[in-house]
Homo-oligomer: A and B are copies of this chain.
Amino acid sequence: MSDYKKTDLNKVIRGSKRATYDKVAIAAILKQNFIAHVSYIYENQAISIPMSYGFNTDEIYLHGSLKNRMLTSILKAEKASITVMQLDGLILARSAFHHSVNYHAATLFCSVSEITTRQEKYNALQNIIEQMIPNRWGSLRPISDKELDSTLVLKLKIETASAKVRDVGVVDNKEDLDFPVWAGVIPIKQVAQDPETDTLLAKNIEVPKHVLDYVEKNK
């Protein structure tokens, strides 16, 4: 693995000391999360829409209705940018100026194409579900051809990317260190809580291992 190529699009200018172009570091952010903000242009206005995604090597998968405005727009444009951001903490400095957050954020610049064969759509949808919750796909009611045919599935090939990571404590001006206010970090985490069984579920079905594993890993 190596770095993504720096271009005018992905080069980080502000706060560049926190930037990385490393494919492994960026893949780690993409693996850790499953919601991306997908950006598109509509009526000369940039808009971003949160979507669940799948990720495999250098490809992102998105899905939705055949008429989804954002998906059809990026397909027509043949390119899209997506941003994945994970909030890790509040940085409470002595000065307002040095307040910040800890985070991992990746911005990808991708070429976009439609996945058209049922087998490839099946694989991409499996990837999207498994990105959200590993090991669930195999236990589901198998997806039907009708469902596959009524779903638009896009492949976004990552052409270039960058990430910014802030993962350190408070950084204040030296002359502020004695100012009498508490300073520190409040760590922030996205956690899973106890699963709530569907009220219509048959009584003899227990919470499966993949759900317990997810909750345990994300508690």
Which of A's residues lie within 8 Å of B, judged by CB? 8-9, 13-14, 35, 37, 39-50, 52, 64-65, 67-69, 79-81, 83, 85, 87, 90, 92-97, 99, 101, 103, 105, 107, 109, 125-126, 129, 132-133, 136-137, 139-141, 143, 147, 151, 169-170, 172, 176-202, 205-208, 211, 214-215, 218
Contact = CB atoms under 8 A, between A and B. Distances in A.
Contacts of A197: 182-184
A14 B181 contact: no
B177 A184 contact: no
A15 B109 CA distance: 27
Contact of A180 (B13, B169, B205): B205
Given A143-B95, A193-B187, A198-B184, A81 B48 contact: yes
Contact of A196 (B95, B126, B187, B202): B187
Counting every copy of the chain, the complex holds 2
Nearest to A169: B198
A184 to B, nearest CB: 4
Contacts of A182: 139, 197, 201, 205-208, 211
B141 A35 contact: no
Contacts of A129: 96, 99
B170 A186 contact: no
A64 B14 CA distance: 9
Contacts of A133: 90, 92, 186
A190 to B, nearest CB: 5
B125 A96 contact: yes
A39 B205 CA distance: 44
A14 B83 contact: no
